[in-house]
């Protein structure tokens, strides 16, 4: 199935993986300098307006038509002054960072490109232009990616291994990035604190999330002073560092030369860098270092995701989760499928919902499809593979003559009283526990027992899915 962008509200959930950062670091921190100045929309470059985003002019709109020379100057400050201040702050401390570079911007400042090339900082492609990729056609976007890669090879001497759009990608972006073939990761995602893999047209592709929260873009909004920014980002760092004793994470900090490059703001950045350097077990690193580490420590594992399977394949794989009742899998597939259904727990919950929503007759049919425990079908080896394995797990395939006689007696009495076979999730019990449950539940009224049998059917389904999908 071709790659489609799907929302995922689950992610790693309550049990994120251990990143195994180098030297046992609690927290990996990556600073990103966005180099955009000179690639933004402008009348000079054919757009019909002057860009004011993420600048002192943001929201002012003082020039209704024609060039806004004041806003242009604010962008030029970033490359003329702010860039060199940020470079100095990091190089004085011998700290690495990542440059999110717009290719055209670096072409227009050869001195800055040379400084980046000499610095050892990694460059992630911020596109050919600082524009909205979701407004481009697929062919236009493909050409922008191609031009950006070729440009970086000229200006910084190497192709970028990472990709990041302005504001947000199009629905085609990730597929086109993988199609291009030279990118290890993209950062077009804001929904996590750890990298994760996606499968794009059969290939593994790494997502290294970025942050607009831990970002100096707040200076273009409500934030006024360096102390406010410093305390805000410091608090995020301190919490992640404390949590890192149990669950290490990653932190991205976004910087813009025309914003935090101003003296009164840069002083807050200097305080932040010194604060972080004073803490132990912190890995301040480049973005490519995070991506390469994750690829080594947690390599892509190809797997077929239930939400991305076609109907035939889905029903074939999951049609037996509820005993001889493929209609449940069919209805699950026909409903809304998403990333949550790619986990054992999520798919089990959805199948249970379909089962509970079925008619009384349909639910009874599922109960009647279940074999007796240690009954004639088992003896004749005519059980499904799942039922065979389940009964064997509790030792029901190796009964004494006395035990078999007792199971036969209880099975017969149960069906005569309640009208359906005794059902229990045998993987939750041992042989004596199963027999005790049969004796106890035989005395229940049929309504109570029907409800319990249906609960057990759903539990069996959940256990089967856990066996099949694990924790994926």
> Active-site positions?
370
Q: Pick from 67, 82, 70, 86: which is nearest to 37 by CA?
A: 82
- Residues with Cβ within 8 Å of 450's Cβ and at least 6 positions away in sequence, in order, are 367, 418, 420
Distance CA 112, CA 79 (A): 8
Question: CB under 8 Å, gap of 24 or more: what pairs does 114-117 form?
Answer: 115/84, 115/87, 116/35, 116/156, 117/155, 117/156, 117/157
* Rounded Cα–Cα distance for residues 339 and 204 (Å): 16
Q: Cβ atoms within 10 A of the Cβ of 192, count?
A: 16
- Per the structure block, which two tokens stand in for 337? 């499928």
Give the three-state DSSP class for 424: coil
Contacts of 230 (CB under 8 A, 6+ apart): 268, 269, 271, 272, 275
Closest CA to 266 of 55, 95, 83, 76: 83
Estimate the share of the chain in helix, then strand, then coil, as percent rounded to the nearest 5.
50, 10, 40
Distances (CA, A) of 132 to 46, 136, 166, 172: 15, 7, 6, 13
CA atoms of 23 and 186, how far apart (whole Å): 25
Distance in angstroms (rounded) separating the CA atoms of residues 55 and 64: 17
Helices 431-442/401-418 angle, 10° precision: 30
Structure-block tokens of residue 151:
């440009």
How many other CB atoms are there within 10 angstroms of residue 1's CB atom?
Answer: 12
Q: Which tokens go with 286?
A: 């480049």
Chain centre to alpha carbon of residue 306: 16
DSSP three-state, residue 399: coil
């Amino acid at each position: 199935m071709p790659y489609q962008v799907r929302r995922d509200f689950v992610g790693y959930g309550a049990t994120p993986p251990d990143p195994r950062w180098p030297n046992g670091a609690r927290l990996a921190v990556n600073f990103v300098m966005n180099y955009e100045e000179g690639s933004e929309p402008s009348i000079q470059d054919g757009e019909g307006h002057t860009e004011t985003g993420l600048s002192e002019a943001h929201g002012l709109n003082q020039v209704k038509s024609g060039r806004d020379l004041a806003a242009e100057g604010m962008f030029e400050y970033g490359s003329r002054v702010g860039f060199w201040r940020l470079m100095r702050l990091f190089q004085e401390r011998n700290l690495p960072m990542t440059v999110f570079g717009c290719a055209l911007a670096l072409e227009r400042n050869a001195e800055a490109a040379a400084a980046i090339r000499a610095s050892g900082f990694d460059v992630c492609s911020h596109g050919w232009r600082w524009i909205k990729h979701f407004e481009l056609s697929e062919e236009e976007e493909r050409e922008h990616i191609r031009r950006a890669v070729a440009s970086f090879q000229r200006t910084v001497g190497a192709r970028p291994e990472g990709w990041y759009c302005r504001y947000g990608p199009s629905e085609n972006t990730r597929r086109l990035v993988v199609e291009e073939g030279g990118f290890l990761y993209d950062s077009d995602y804001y929904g996590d604190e750890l990298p994760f893999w996606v499968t794009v047209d059969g290939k593994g592709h790494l997502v290294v999330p970025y942050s607009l929260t831990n970002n100096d873009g707040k200076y273009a909004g409500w934030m006024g002073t360096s102390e406010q920014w410093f305390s805000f980002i410091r608090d995020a760092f301190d919490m992640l560092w404390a949590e890192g004793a149990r669950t290490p994470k990653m932190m991205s900090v976004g910087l813009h030369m025309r914003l935090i490059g101003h003296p009164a703001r840069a002083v807050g950045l200097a305080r932040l860098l010194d604060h972080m350097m004073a803490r132990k077990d912190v890995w301040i690193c480049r973005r490519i270092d995070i991506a390469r580490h994750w690829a080594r420590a947690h390599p892509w594992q190809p797997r077929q995701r239930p939400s991305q399977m076609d109907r035939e394949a889905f029903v074939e794989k999951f049609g037996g989760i509820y005993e001889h009742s493929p209609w449940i899998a069919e209805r699950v597939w026909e409903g809304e499928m998403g990333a949550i259904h790619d986990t054992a727990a999520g798919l089990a919950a959805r199948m249970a919902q379909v089962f509970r929503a079925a008619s009384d007759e349909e639910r009874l049919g599922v109960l009647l499809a279940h074999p007796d425990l240690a009954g004639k079908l088992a003896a004749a080896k005519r059980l499904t593979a799942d039922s065979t394995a389940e009964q064997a797990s509790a030792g029901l395939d190796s009964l004494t003559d006395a035990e078999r006689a007792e199971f036969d007696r209880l099975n017969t009495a149960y069906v005569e009283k309640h009208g359906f076979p005794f059902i229990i999730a045998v993987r939750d019990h041992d042989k004596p526990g199963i027999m005790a449950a049969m004796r106890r539940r035989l005395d229940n009224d049929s309504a109570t027992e029907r409800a319990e049998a249906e609960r057990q059917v759903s539990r069996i389904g959940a256990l089967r899915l856990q066996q099949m999908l694990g924790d994926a």
